[in-house]
Amino acid sequence: MKKIASFTVDHNKLEKGMYISRIDGDVVTYDIRMKNPNKGDYLGNGELHTIEHLLATFARNSEIADNVIYVGPMGCRTGFYLLVRDKVPHKLAIKTVQESFRFIADFEGEIPGSKKEECGNYLEHDLPSAKKTAWDMLKVLENYNEENLKYKE
């Protein structure tokens, strides 16, 4: 079998940030890396779950809402994938992710979709940790531009 593209990225060199993981036809996959791989610091399950609910809610209500295909966590618990149509300029994708993390960092109240009838694991959320990670990512993504979207060799 062919090795999938995400496994060809040297995770020893990968740092927190936002990257273009791949482009398939008219779909752009962004790698939103919140933790440095293989350093022993991973997103906790409740934190990951809360970020998923808030990030997906924000993205699907943002300026790019009609072009969002998928927002979801990486199995390694170091970040998320954001898949959008290529109609979304990279600059706007960066802006949306920055705004998403601002939304998460400032969020108060009931987590969207966190009721028993709305979620398959409604009890496992961790808003304080999600907010802490969002604040950290806001620092990482400050002054981010299209050049930063390339994986470092």
Q: What is 37-100 written as a DSSP string?
A: TTSS----HHHHHHHHHHHHHHHTTSTTGGGEEEEEE-TTSSEEEEEEETTS-HHHHHHHHHHH
pLDDT in tens, 93-116: 999 999 999 999 999 999 999 999
pLDDT for 48 equals 98
pLDDT in tens, 41-50: 999 999 999 9
pLDDT for 153 equals 75
pLDDT confidence tier of residue 7, bands split at 50, 70 and 90 = confident
pLDDT for 124 equals 96
Instruction: Write out the two tokens for 120.
Output: 């398959």
Residue 55 has pLDDT above 90, yes or no: yes
pLDDT for 4 equals 78
Top pLDDT among 2 and 88 is at 88
pLDDT confidence tier of residue 29, bands split at 50, 70 and 90 = very high
| Cβ–Cβ under 8 Å, residues 93 and 84 | yes
**What's the rounded Cα separation, in Å, for the pair 52 and 8?**
25
pTM: 0.95
pLDDT for 118 equals 97
∠ Cα 44 14 142 (to 5°)? 80
